[in-house]
Structure 1
Amino acid sequence: MPFFITVFIILFVLWLHLFCNVSQEKCKAAIQIIINILSASAKNPITICSLDTIPHDPQTMIGRANLDVYKQFSNSDPCYKELFFKKKIYQGEKDIGDLENYTQPPHIPPTLITTPCCVFISQSILTWVKWLLSRPETEKEINDWIQVNHELKNQGYYADIQHGNNLTKTTWTNRPNLFNLRVSLFVDWFNPCGNKISCKLESTGFLAFLCLNLPPSLWNKLSHMCIAGITPGP
């Protein structure tokens, strides 16, 4: 039995690290948690009988964990404000359609929908552009990437937005600057209650602007992004 437990732990941790992209530090914490669970079970074998009480779905587990509500800062008091407002929509018989198969009017429960308490939080993109261009290395990064794209184009490779017709054939009414900066809106959705669990009712969108004149390796770096807002805001 100890051999099979060891193999199980090895396979489980490998699955976390290789397939779920869990870091080595978090895998170490998972190993220690498993060891603590096995140690507690060995001291109290009666706990094995309570396995049926363990929830089999992640959402129920998270609900029973009684996690702390949102805090703006780690040392601040929770605001106890819901990310979404819940609203009921009542339907009538006409919304159901053909009622010939019913001996009596059916019971139509209301539909529960959620509305974000805050739709968008924004900041000035002009402030970010001025800050980005004030960095001493930004101009060099843009010029170096322009040179790389020229060399790729001469070799017959078309792999960047700077090779596209929409950019090369764009005519400016008023030439804004020598760089002709292009930005793209990037949106990524995540669950504020947990990184690995999908949750439609509590989904938060992260909105950011990326400067397409920079090398692609720098687009998703926080040092080069404009965090435009979060929807819905906390």
Structure 2
Amino acid sequence: MSASLILCQCGSCIANIFTDTNGNETHGKLITKRSKQRHNQPCQSNFQSPSHHPHRSSLRNHLTHDLGTNAEEDVESDDTSSLMDTSSGSQNEADSAPVLCMVAIFIAWLYFFCNLSQDKCRMARNFLLRILKHQQKQRMNRLALPQDPRTLIRMAVPTFDLRRIPYCPVCFSLYQLKQLPPKCTYRETPQCNPCNTELFLTRSNFRSIRIREGKMNPAYQIHPCDAPFYSIPIGTYITQTLDTWLRWFLQLDGIEDQMSKWSDEVLAQNDERIIDIQQGNSWKEMKWKTKAEDAKSLQLCFSLFVDWFNPRHNKLAGKQQSIGIVCMACLNLPPSIRQKFEYVFIAGLMPGPQAPDMSTIGHLMSPLVDDLLAFEGPMNIPTSNFPEGRLIETRLLTLIGDSGARHKVGGFASHSANYMCPWCMIRDTDLSKVKLGPLRVGAE
């Protein structure tokens, strides 16, 4: 090692491997002293003086005292993956599996909820391994812990059955991938012209090759006009199956106990106070194919929420785009946890850049409607309290959303409309005696 060069192990240089005169490999890079100061500036900006961050300063001093004077330098290196020796045996692998699962969930929590970067998540992973070694005071069996935070996040987040359905970007008609026509064939009415929107994008496999020293391998001399082409759908509508989500949801520990406990609390109300939707007439008059008294049956009611948002930060001077979300919440849960994100079913993400209108939103809602119709009859699903299976029925009870979402999804008119429904001739004066009126014809 030259006297004028020093070893740097910052976030950029740690990816390199340096071999010293003795043949030992070390993560880092040899740079000048001036470059070392410049590389340390981003790190110093993140850690301010102790007067500004007393808790952070005390934490660093505590970790430095416990892990040694070179703890911060060691924790930023990738050598922490080799802190634990490799040991054969299925028992050791079984013992390390819970630790690996907890570390993966913790790293995913830091990334999603604490908004930490991947570099910070990698440093947190290295800190955990240092703490585990220091706590046991001995060599440990090596954990098969991935070094990339993205791999840890994929391990912690459960996988669901996502459906990617090709769609038309104009009328939002959905097609099967094996039966996808070149152009959209949707007609709003039999007399209207078809949509005729292109449903495929053409991509080229040609990649330009750099010519070095005026020479080029003849095997790569492909003219762009002769390059092979392939077609892909112009867009896909991503949805989640209700069956897969219910099988995961009902396997959660204590979720069925929460439902039954809240149902008993609502039924125990002796006064006339209304504390939940389960006391309403619509809930009580809901028709089911199974009996509520049967312990092996579970009747679930859901609320549907639809809304659109601008991914461009909703600025009037910026781009105006709309992306929608379709989600459902289980009304059997207590109100305190009913709307929590971990218990909400994300049915689909409506693609942009424009929101569908009242006549085309039915195309995007059709996968969810098919899933709800499949659960109209009881379906046997294993649950946490009934591993052998329980008869599950689902119903959609309420629609939640702003005026635009209610008008599009439910077909409701505005508060000042004379006709309350777009499909029949009922007027607002007959609101007190709402019933099915004469249907409108196609010309109307």
With normalisation by structure 2, the TM-score equals: 0.24
Greater relative CO, 1 or 2 (CA 8 Å, sep 6+): 1
Structure of higher CA gyration radius: 2
Structure number having the greater helix percentage: 1
TM-score (norm 1): 0.44
